[in-house]
Structure 1
């Protein structure tokens, strides 16, 4: 069923490959960010919800 649907849309393969490449690039960039970000910053951000000194 899916092949029949895709075969009727002209240029659908370009959109599928483009969306896959976009997703893959985003996934790789987020992974690189998580590997390269400062671990102190991650710990500080994770403790923010538990920190009582920043109440309004």
Structure 2
């Protein structure tokens, strides 16, 4: 299916590959940041909407 789509697009493969690369790079960076993030920070942010106290 992807190959058929690329065959129909004339001369714009650069834009397709670039946008796919940016898309993949963004989600890979976000996944790495989530894996590296401290568990205390994740717990704090998950409870943030439930806390009424001000700091």
Q: Report the TM-score when normalising by structure 2.
A: 0.77
Which runs of 5 or more residues in structure 1 are unaligned? none
Moved beyond 3 Å, runs of 4+:
none
Q: Distance in 2 between matches of 1:20 and 1:49?
A: 34
Larger Rg: 1
Paired residues, number:
49
Computed over aligned residues only, the root mean square deviation of the Cα atoms, in angstroms, reads 1.3
